[in-house]
Protein backbone atom coordinates (compact mmCIF):
# COMPACT_ATOMS: atom_id res chain seq x y z
CA UNK A 1 0.00 0.00 0.00
CA UNK A 2 1.17 3.50 -0.69
CA UNK A 3 1.90 5.64 2.33
CA UNK A 4 0.20 8.96 2.92
CA UNK A 5 -2.89 8.39 0.74
CA UNK A 6 -5.14 6.48 3.15
CA UNK A 7 -7.41 8.22 5.70
CA UNK A 8 -6.66 7.82 9.38
CA UNK A 9 -8.49 4.93 11.04
CA UNK A 10 -9.49 6.08 14.53
CA UNK A 11 -11.91 5.40 17.39
CA UNK A 12 -15.44 6.49 16.51
CA UNK A 13 -18.32 7.31 18.85
CA UNK A 14 -21.64 6.09 17.34
CA UNK A 15 -24.91 7.70 18.52
CA UNK A 16 -28.25 6.04 17.70
CA UNK A 17 -31.60 7.83 17.62
CA UNK A 18 -32.80 5.49 20.41
CA UNK A 19 -30.12 6.94 22.72
CA UNK A 20 -27.71 4.00 22.64
CA UNK A 21 -24.04 4.92 22.12
CA UNK A 22 -21.02 2.73 21.51
CA UNK A 23 -17.45 2.99 20.30
CA UNK A 24 -16.11 1.39 17.14
CA UNK A 25 -13.45 2.30 14.59
CA UNK A 26 -13.94 4.41 11.47
CA UNK A 27 -12.36 7.12 9.38
CA UNK A 28 -14.75 9.59 11.02
CA UNK A 29 -14.59 10.55 14.71
CA UNK A 30 -18.39 10.54 15.22
CA UNK A 31 -21.42 8.92 13.53
CA UNK A 32 -25.17 9.41 14.02
CA UNK A 33 -27.40 6.50 12.96
CA UNK A 34 -31.16 5.86 12.89
CA UNK A 35 -31.02 2.20 13.94
CA UNK A 36 -28.64 0.08 15.96
CA UNK A 37 -28.64 -3.50 17.25
CA UNK A 38 -30.43 -2.30 20.41
CA UNK A 39 -33.49 -0.96 18.56
CA UNK A 40 -33.55 -2.80 15.19
CA UNK A 41 -36.63 -5.06 14.85
CA UNK A 42 -34.55 -7.98 13.55
CA UNK A 43 -32.49 -8.11 16.74
CA UNK A 44 -35.17 -7.10 19.26
CA UNK A 45 -38.03 -9.23 17.90
CA UNK A 46 -40.43 -6.29 18.27
CA UNK A 47 -42.51 -5.08 15.34
CA UNK A 48 -41.53 -1.56 14.40
CA UNK A 49 -42.21 0.32 11.19
CA UNK A 50 -38.97 1.83 9.97
CA UNK A 51 -39.92 4.63 7.62
CA UNK A 52 -37.24 6.15 5.47
CA UNK A 53 -38.26 9.20 3.46
CA UNK A 54 -41.99 8.48 3.84
CA UNK A 55 -41.90 5.19 1.91
CA UNK A 56 -44.39 3.42 4.17
CA UNK A 57 -46.90 6.29 4.01
CA UNK A 58 -46.50 6.55 0.24
CA UNK A 59 -47.13 2.81 -0.14
CA UNK A 60 -50.21 2.98 2.10
CA UNK A 61 -51.63 5.88 0.06
CA UNK A 62 -51.05 3.98 -3.19
CA UNK A 63 -52.66 0.83 -1.76
CA UNK A 64 -55.70 2.80 -0.56
CA UNK A 65 -56.06 4.49 -3.96
CA UNK A 66 -55.87 1.12 -5.73
CA UNK A 67 -58.49 -0.37 -3.41
CA UNK A 68 -60.79 2.61 -3.98
CA UNK A 69 -60.37 2.33 -7.76
CA UNK A 70 -61.21 -1.39 -7.63
CA UNK A 71 -64.37 -0.71 -5.59
CA UNK A 72 -65.43 1.97 -8.09
CA UNK A 73 -64.91 -0.45 -10.99
CA UNK A 74 -66.99 -3.12 -9.27
CA UNK A 75 -69.76 -0.61 -8.60
CA UNK A 76 -69.76 0.44 -12.28
CA UNK A 77 -69.97 -3.19 -13.41
CA UNK A 78 -72.86 -3.85 -11.03
CA UNK A 79 -74.72 -0.76 -12.27
CA UNK A 80 -74.13 -1.74 -15.90
CA UNK A 81 -75.39 -5.26 -15.20
CA UNK A 82 -78.64 -3.87 -13.73
CA UNK A 83 -79.25 -1.61 -16.75
CA UNK A 84 -78.55 -4.29 -19.37
CA UNK A 85 -81.65 -6.24 -20.45
CA UNK A 86 -81.68 -9.94 -19.67
CA UNK A 87 -80.94 -12.17 -22.65
CA UNK A 88 -83.62 -14.65 -23.66
CA UNK A 89 -82.66 -18.16 -24.65
What is residue 39's predicted lDDT score, i.e. its pLDDT?
Answer: 83
Taking residues 62-86, what's their average pLDDT? 88
What is residue 30's predicted lDDT score, i.e. its pLDDT?
Answer: 95
- Whether residue 56 has pLDDT greater than 70: yes
pLDDT of 2-50, one tens digit each? 888 988 899 999 999 889 999 999 999 999 998 888 888 777 777 666 6
Total number of domains in the chain: 1
Give domain status of residue 81, yes or no: no
Distances (CA, A) of 26 to 14, 36, 64, 75: 10, 16, 43, 60
For residue 29, the domain's CATH number is: 4.10.80.400
Give domain status of residue 2, yes or no: no
DSSP-assigned beta bridge partners for residue 12: 24
Cβ neighbours of residue 26 closer than 8 Å, sequence gap 6 or more: 9, 10, 12
Q: Name the residue range of residue 37's domain.
A: 10-68
What is residue 42's predicted lDDT score, i.e. its pLDDT?
Answer: 75
Give domain status of residue 46, yes or no: yes
User: What pTM value is reported for the model?
Assistant: 0.46
Give domain status of residue 49, yes or no: yes
Amino acid sequence: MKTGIHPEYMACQVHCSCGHTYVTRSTRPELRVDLCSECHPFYTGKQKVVDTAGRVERFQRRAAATAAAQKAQQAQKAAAAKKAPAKKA
